[in-house]
Amino acid sequence: MAFSFDTSYKELDAKLYSRVTPKDIDDPEILLFNEALCDDLGIDAEAVTGQVLSGQERLEEPIAQAYAGHQYGSFTVLGDGRAMILGEHVHDGNRSDIQLKGSGRTPYSGSGDGKATVSSMLREYLYSFAMHKLGIKTSRSLAVIETDESVKRRQTEPGAILVRVMNSHIRYGTFQYVASRAPDELEAFTEYVIDRHYPQLTDSDRKYVEFFDAVMRASVAMVVDWLRVGFIHGVMNTDNMSIDGETFDYGPCAFMNYYDEDAVFSSIDKHGRYAFGNQRKILQWNLERFAESLQPLCTDSSITFDEIEARLDDFDDIFEAEYYTMMRQKLGIPADGAEEIVDEFLDWLRSSGADYTNTFLELENPGTFEDPIYATAEFEEIREQVAQVGLDEDLMQQANPRYIPRNHLVEDALTQYVEDRDLSRFRALLDVLQHPYESNEATARFQQPPPEAFDAEYTTYCNT
């Protein structure tokens, strides 16, 4: 059997979702299939055909979830406009949403067509693959299915469906929707989420407070991991924030090459709201909105909203501790403290604009790169300062990837498929990202950043 479905979300109030049917596809073609994920899910690969993966053959009726969200600061009622959950797959006691993205219109599509381009779905497959291999909690992609139609966005491309796997697609924005549109269901919904994602809190007499705290800490860990590898999500709306700390929705995302806390690549982020250096601040803002959605739970219980706000007041201390621990690991500093050295190193990065990924590799092994920026007295001075307390090789190798999805290589691979129907560059990039912490002379070119002029003009798109 392809999947073992037991979709608990359907037991919730019908206001929280809609029953839907994927669009008809005559000849769905599997472009990419993640065999490792298939094994992790305990799925019979031979049973997972294009008909099954595209929702043409179904084990049960799919659903589209309703949710809301603050998009660039403005509250909007939303929902799965081009996505459908085929079901919740259960394996070894673990539950995973199997979702189709680009599978057609739903009641939440508005004026959208519910479709997706092949380049955007290949892009999400690659980024979710890379993030998983980088050790970051993330959605995963089981397959990309090319459809038998054309989809017009910035250009006309073949249509595609992504088969996305997550612990669940419940987000901050789901709570915002329930609190604003189905308030009578908020307590039952929160109990469901706690039981599904944080069962250790079920018997706590402060479980709503502890639930908020657990979500906050999971989200902090996620964003600190983004900062570790130079990832820019690009669209940190509250509807794109997982309740379980999973990174998802790889639309206008990118990896930062040259260090710039103002780095923005998204075409719709005109004012830099979700820039690399703003992700911490935006996470805190989003958590404030999530806390507000829990406030009604405090009126009819012994828990007060002041208790949740008190946990939120701990955000800065929690984030600071996580961030400096991460940066000490990147600099190979085994002991606590050393914040001053971390700050001085960050000041050097800001002033130099050096490549973020390669700088740590150069600190670890001087002479790895020929970039003249590493031959300066300033860099030698900062390296000597770090060497006095750090440069522990084992720590650095665990924290610093040798390879990330370089923007120019990603675009080159996507362009090759769209124009020539050739996945060779895409597969070569996947091969390199399979082991991002292991150097290989044969793939050294994948470590090189693009010309600065490329990144200065580089733009990513949602393609919704």
Measured between alpha carbons, how far is 197 from 192 in angstroms, rounded to an integer?
9
114: left (phi over 0), alpha (psi -120 to 50) or beta: left
Could you tell me what percent of the chain has a pLDDT over 70?
99
3-state secondary structure of 183: helix
Q: Model-level pTM greater than 0.95?
A: yes
Where in the chain are the domains? 8-166
Residue 212: what pLDDT?
98
Residue 299: what pLDDT?
79
Tokens of 395: 């720590």
Burial (CB count <10 Å: 0-12, 13-18, 19+), residue 33: middle
Band of pLDDT at residue 302, cut at 50, 70 and 90 = confident
- Mean pLDDT to the nearest integer, 186-201: 98
Band of pLDDT at residue 110, cut at 50, 70 and 90 = very high
The DSSP element (H or E) to which 296 belongs, if any, is none
Amino acid at 125: Y
Measured between alpha carbons, how far is 115 from 160 in angstroms, rounded to an integer?
8
Measured between alpha carbons, how far is 69 from 325 in angstroms, rounded to an integer?
31
Measured between alpha carbons, how far is 30 from 27 in angstroms, rounded to an integer?
10
Kindly give, in sequence order, each residue whose CB lies less than 8 Å from that of residue 105, ignoring residues fewer than 6 positions away.
23, 81, 82, 112, 113, 114
Q: List active site positions.
A: 239
262-279 confidence digits (pLDDT tens): 999 999 999 999 999 999
Give the relative orientation of helices 207-229 and 305-313 as an angle to the nearest 10 degrees: 20
Measured between alpha carbons, how far is 345 from 353 in angstroms, rounded to an integer?
12
Band of pLDDT at residue 308, cut at 50, 70 and 90 = very high
Residue 5: what pLDDT?
97
DSSP-derived letter for residue 138 is B
- Between 150 and 138, the more confident residue is 138
In contact, 392 and 333? CB cutoff 8 Å: yes
- Mean pLDDT to the nearest integer, 352-362: 98
Residue 1: what pLDDT?
65
For the chain, what is the mean pLDDT?
96
In contact, 246 and 222? CB cutoff 8 Å: yes
Residue 75: what pLDDT?
97
Residue 127: what pLDDT?
98
Tokens of 93: 């006691």
Which parts of 313-380 are beta strand (E)? none
Q: How far is CA 17 from CA 14, 109, 369, in A?
A: 6, 13, 53
DSSP-derived letter for residue 340 is H
204-245 confidence digits (pLDDT tens): 999 999 999 999 999 999 999 999 999 999 999 999 999 999
Residue 300: what pLDDT?
65
Residue 464: what pLDDT?
64
Residue 163 has pLDDT above 70, yes or no: yes
Residue 2: what pLDDT?
87
Residue 133: what pLDDT?
98
- Mean pLDDT to the nearest integer, 130-152: 96
361-388 confidence digits (pLDDT tens): 999 999 999 999 999 999 999 999 999 9
Residue of 193, 153, 164 lying closest to 67 (CA atoms): 193
Residue 144 has pLDDT above 90, yes or no: yes
Which parts of 139-294 are beta strand (E)? 140-152, 156-166, 231-232, 254-255
Measured between alpha carbons, how far is 69 from 76 in angstroms, rounded to an integer?
5
